[in-house]
Amino acid sequence: MLKFKFFSHTADIKFRAYGKNIEESFKNSVYALIKSISNSKIEESKKIKIKVSGKDMESLLYNFLEEVLYLIDSKNFFVSKVRNIKINKKVFNLSAEFSGDLGKNLKIFSHVKAITYNEMFVKKIKEKWIVQVVLDV
């Protein structure tokens, strides 16, 4: 199954991430975010557990990806794998475990300034979940 796909956008990076459930689509959105910054293979030398919440699915996705961006910008930590992702759709909270490594050994080709709400959506279409995100670069 397709994990994510990039789309043309005037000045920013736009992608859609797919999954057979909402957790998989959120996980694949992290992989798309990382791939928009570096193509390097990222080792799994460190683990970080995170928890985020939102007021709806879009804000939960936004806060989830902001957490990834925060780890990159403040800790120089790049996610290689997302594990044990659990989303509570009733109260819009999420927990997950990231495996990854410091960015010092990676070839960085882009800098993402922010996650945006521009054109963002979280949808279930037939039997698959799709999330769309635009990254400010």
Q: At what angle do helices 22-35 and 57-75 cross, to 10 degrees?
A: 40
**What is the topology classification, in CATH, of domain 4-136?**
Archease, Possible Chaperone; Chain: A; domain 1 (3.55.10)
Question: What values do phi and psi take at 109, rounded to 5?
Answer: -115, -5
The confidence score (pLDDT) of residue 69 equals: 97
At residue 6, the pLDDT reads 87
The tokens of 77 are what? 């930590």
Give the integer Cα–Cα distance in Å for 45 and 55: 33
What is the per-residue pLDDT for 26? 98
- Looking at residue 136, its pLDDT comes to 93
Check residue 11 and give its pLDDT: 73
Print pLDDT tens along the chain (137 aa): 679 888 876 779 999 999 999 999 999 999 999 999 999 999 999 999 999 999 999 999 999 999 999 999 999 999 999 999 999 999 999 999 999 999 988 999 889 999 999 999 999 999 999 999 999 98
- The pLDDT assigned to 80 comes to 97
